[in-house]
């Protein structure tokens, strides 16, 4: 006798490459560590080149395996190699809310990422939101970004605030859906 398999069919997995971009020490590695492994360390070990991590994100109607490219930060010695960006479905621009100059670095990285990738989804993460007493970035400084329809979020890799939401939202947007909307099909 044949039995009918009533298990719902597993949603297919779609892989998406996401690059973490930003000046040095803004918290790119820490955001990935928080998102993928739920850990945080106060110790600073600068990233040399690139480190790749993966995490499966469950969305309504789809499963997205994010391939997170944690790139070295830009400083006076190192400039981002745009070859790292190739094939990215989206990117996170990370800013350290306690260092205003990192917002300018994000703008320049954004221009280069846009030139390399075209208008793929991105989010602007203003990180270290647990350090509000040292905050240097005024809300008004983010208005030009919001005017361009950028998704702007405050995050803290230390407390975890805003981190999961940011990357899950970006995962959804790489599939062409906005926050809160179900993904059609299976
Ligand atoms: N208080 C606080 N510290 C943070 C946060 N995120 C990162 N840090 C600290 O900031 C420092 C730099 O963090 P990293 O994650 O290594 O920064 P990065 O952007 O990967 O740096 P590079 O690889 O050099 O470009 C470390 O000492 C972290 O502990 C945060 O949300 N809050
Ligand atoms: Mg790093």
φ and ψ of 19, to 5 deg? -100, 140
Domain ranges of the chain: 13-174
pLDDT value of residue 185: 32
pLDDT value of residue 72: 93
pLDDT in tens, 85-105: 999 999 999 999 999 999 999
Q: Tell whether ligand 1 has an atom less than 6 A from the beta carbon of residue 73.
A: yes
User: Is CATH 3.40.228.10 correct for 13-174?
Assistant: no
Predicted TM-score (pTM) of the model is 0.92
Measured in angstroms, how far is the CA atom of residue 2 from the centroid of ligand 2?
Answer: 55
pLDDT value of residue 5: 61
Q: Tell whether ligand 1 has an atom less than 6 A from the beta carbon of residue 72.
A: yes
Cβ-proximal residues to 21 (8 Å cutoff; 6+ apart), any chain: 28, 71, 80, 91, 92, 93, 94, 106, 109, 110, 113
Measured in angstroms, how far is the CA atom of residue 114 from the centroid of ligand 1?
Answer: 25
Q: Which residues of the chain have pLDDT under 50?
A: 179-186
pLDDT in tens, 31-52: 999 999 999 999 999 999 899 9
pLDDT value of residue 93: 98
């Amino acid at each position: 006798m044949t039995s009918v398999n009533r298990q719902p069919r597993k949603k297919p997995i779609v892989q998406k490459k996401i690059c973490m971009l930003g000046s040095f020490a803004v918290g790119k590695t820490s955001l990935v560590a928080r998102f993928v492994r739920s850990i945080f360390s106060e110790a600073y070990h600068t990233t040399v080149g690139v480190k790749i991590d993966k995490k499966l994100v469950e969305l309504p109607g789809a499963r997205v395996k994010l391939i997170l490219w944690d790139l070295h930060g830009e400083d006076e010695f190192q400039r981002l190699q745009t070859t790292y960006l190739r094939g990215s479905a989206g990117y996170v621009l990370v800013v350290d809310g306690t260092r205003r100059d990192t917002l300018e670095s994000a703008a320049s990285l954004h221009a280069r990422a846009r030139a390399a990738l075209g208008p793929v989804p991105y989010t602007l993460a203003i990180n270290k939101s647990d350090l509000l007493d040292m905050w240097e970035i005024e809300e008004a400084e983010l208005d030009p970004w919001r005017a361009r329809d950028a998704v702007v979020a405050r995050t803290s890799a230390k407390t975890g605030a805003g981190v999961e939401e940011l990357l899950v939202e970006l995962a959804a947007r790489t599939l062409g859906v906005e926050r809160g909307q179900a993904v059609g099909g299976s």
